[in-house]
């Protein structure tokens, strides 16, 4: 592997870490229900939460989809459909179902036994939906539709990699249009995931990874900052109705964000932070899957110390939540990897097994 390819591999690993850490902000504990959050809209602390969510959370996720498409688009194993699907079922679908089962066990269990304000089973249909995400988003592990739709993208990948560029662009366009029109369920919960997955495939064919990495910082960051400013205005001030224009702006922000975060990952791959971030990377998938369980259970505990959104100490708690979750994941993942490496391998999609 030459120096450029090695740095690109490191940048991919680092991108996973910073993007998944950013996702924690989207689901950060607030101590408020939906009605109270709506009342808090426009307050300084709620504005801070939205700022962190949009910049580091929702805007970082598209890069994960692009990376997945980029990787699968260059793998010869993708062409072997049975082995490809079996491998992705083991590393994506099975961990998703296992973590959803753990969420029901721990979160709903705490709700029933300790009166934690959290969802509890109400029917067999509820259990099936929480486990397999058949036709609606789950109530507990709300991040899991990403893995569900990513697996379906992987199922289609052997066909997608064989498509000519024009047809692949058509798939991306159809997925983007479906996202704008809010079509998708029950086939795809979030059509934007297919959009960015195919963008990743096209990026591989066009050599965009290296071209974006070579951008100057102003060219990589300024479009994201400008578009994000407009996006934040609509998120914080505008009426609740979305509209086609806002949906198009949202997709544009996410494309610009993926560009900016990839440029950042490339820079970090040659920085003093590289070694630390690469040591964290095997835990990134574990972090993605487990962070909401940790937030459901641990958020109220620390919230008793720092207070809910609106309390004087809450902003400090909000800002450090990704770090707190990361520390918990590093401890739990390491302990599980030593005590029960087989289970650690399953829950991490095989990522932690390699660190044993």
Residue where the block lists tokens 């087989």: 342
Would you say residue 319 has pLDDT above 80?
A: yes
Would you say residue 32 has pLDDT above 90?
A: yes
* DSSP codes joined into one string, 65-83: HHHHHHHHHT-GGGGSHHH
Give yes or no for a contact between 222 and 259, defined as CB atoms under 8 angstroms apart. no
Residue 47: C-alpha distances to residues 50, 148, 167 (Å): 5, 31, 41
Would you say residue 242 has pLDDT above 60?
A: no
What is the spatial distance between Cα 85 and Cα 81, in angstroms, rounded to a whole number? Answer: 6
What is the spatial distance between Cα 266 and Cα 8, in angstroms, rounded to a whole number? Answer: 7
- Collapsing DSSP to helix, strand or coil, 185 comes out as coil
Whole-number pLDDT of residue 354: 56
Q: What are phi and psi of 143, to 5 degrees?
A: -85, -15
For 152, other C-beta atoms within 10 Å of its C-beta total 19
Helix runs in 181-270, H state only: 191-206, 208-213, 217-236, 243-268
Nearest CA among 245, 237, 260, 289 for reference residue 91: 289
* DSSP codes joined into one string, 130-164: HHH--SS--SS-TTTHHHHHHHHHHHHHHHHTTS-
Task: Work out the average pLDDT over 198-223.
Answer: 95
Q: What does pTM read for this prediction?
A: 0.95
In 89-107, which positions are buried (b, 16+ CB within 10 angstroms) versus exposed (e)? bebbbebbbebbebbbebb
Would you say residue 207 has pLDDT above 70?
A: yes
Task: Work out the average pLDDT over 320-324.
Answer: 97
- Collapsing DSSP to helix, strand or coil, 349 comes out as coil
Give yes or no for a contact between 246 and 236, defined as CB atoms under 8 angstroms apart. no
Nearest CA among 98, 203, 92 for reference residue 152: 92
Task: Work out the average pLDDT over 5-12.
Answer: 95
pLDDT (tens digit per residue) in 56-110: 887 778 999 999 999 999 888 888 999 999 999 999 999 999 999 999 999 999 9
pLDDT (tens digit per residue) in 281-292: 999 999 999 999
* Token pair recorded at residue 238: 């505008």
What is the spatial distance between Cα 209 and Cα 178, in angstroms, rounded to a whole number? Answer: 26
* Token pair recorded at residue 186: 């029950």
Give yes or no for a contact between 260 and 220, defined as CB atoms under 8 angstroms apart. yes
244 CB burial (10 A radius; 0-12, 13-18, 19+): exposed
Give yes or no for a contact between 185 and 241, defined as CB atoms under 8 angstroms apart. no
What is the spatial distance between Cα 219 and Cα 61, in angstroms, rounded to a whole number? Answer: 21
Give yes or no for a contact between 344 and 337, defined as CB atoms under 8 angstroms apart. yes
Give the DSSP H/E element, type plus range, for residue 31: none
Residue where the block lists tokens 């067999």: 124
């Amino acid at each position: 592997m030459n120096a450029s390819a090695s740095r690109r591999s490191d940048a991919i690993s680092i991108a996973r870490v910073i993007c998944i850490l950013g996702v924690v902000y989207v689901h950060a504990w607030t101590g408020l229900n939906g009605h109270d959050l709506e009342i808090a809209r426009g307050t300084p602390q709620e504005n801070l939460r939205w700022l962190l969510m949009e910049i580091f959370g929702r805007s970082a996720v598209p890069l994960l989809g692009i990376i997945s498409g980029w990787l699968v688009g260059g793998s010869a194993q993708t062409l072997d459909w049975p082995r490809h699907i079996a491998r992705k079922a083991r590393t994506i679908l099975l961990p998703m179902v296992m973590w959803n089962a753990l969420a029901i066990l721990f979160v709903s269990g705490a709700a029933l036994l300790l009166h934690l304000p959290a969802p509890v089973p109400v029917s067999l249909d509820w259990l099936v939906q929480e486990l397999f995400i058949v036709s609606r988003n789950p109530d507990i592990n709300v991040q899991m539709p990403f893995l569900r739709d990513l697996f379906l993208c992987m199922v289609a990948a052997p066909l997608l990699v064989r498509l000519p560029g024009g047809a692949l662009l058509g798939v991306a366009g159809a997925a983007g249009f479906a996202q704008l029109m809010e079509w998708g369920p029950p086939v795809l919960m979030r059509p934007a995931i297919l959009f960015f997955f195919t963008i990743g495939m096209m990026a591989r064919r066009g050599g965009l990874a290296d071209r974006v990495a070579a951008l100057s910082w102003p060219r990589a960051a300024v479009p994201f900052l400008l578009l994000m400013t407009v996006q934040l205005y609509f998120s914080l001030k505008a009426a609740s109705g979305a509209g086609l224009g806002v949906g198009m702006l949202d997709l544009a922000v996410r494309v610009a964000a993926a560009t900016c975060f990839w440029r950042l990952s490339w820079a970090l791959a040659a920085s003093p932070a590289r070694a630390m971030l690469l040591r964290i990377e095997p835990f990134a998938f574990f972090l993605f899957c487990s962070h909401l369980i940790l937030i459901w259970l641990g958020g109220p505990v620390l919230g008793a110390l720092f207070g809910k959104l609106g309390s004087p100490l809450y902003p400090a708690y909000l800002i450090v939540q990704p770090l707190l979750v990361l520390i918990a994941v590093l401890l739990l993942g390491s302990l599980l990897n030593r005590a029960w490496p087989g289970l650690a391998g399953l829950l991490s999609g095989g990522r932690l097994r390699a660190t044993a």
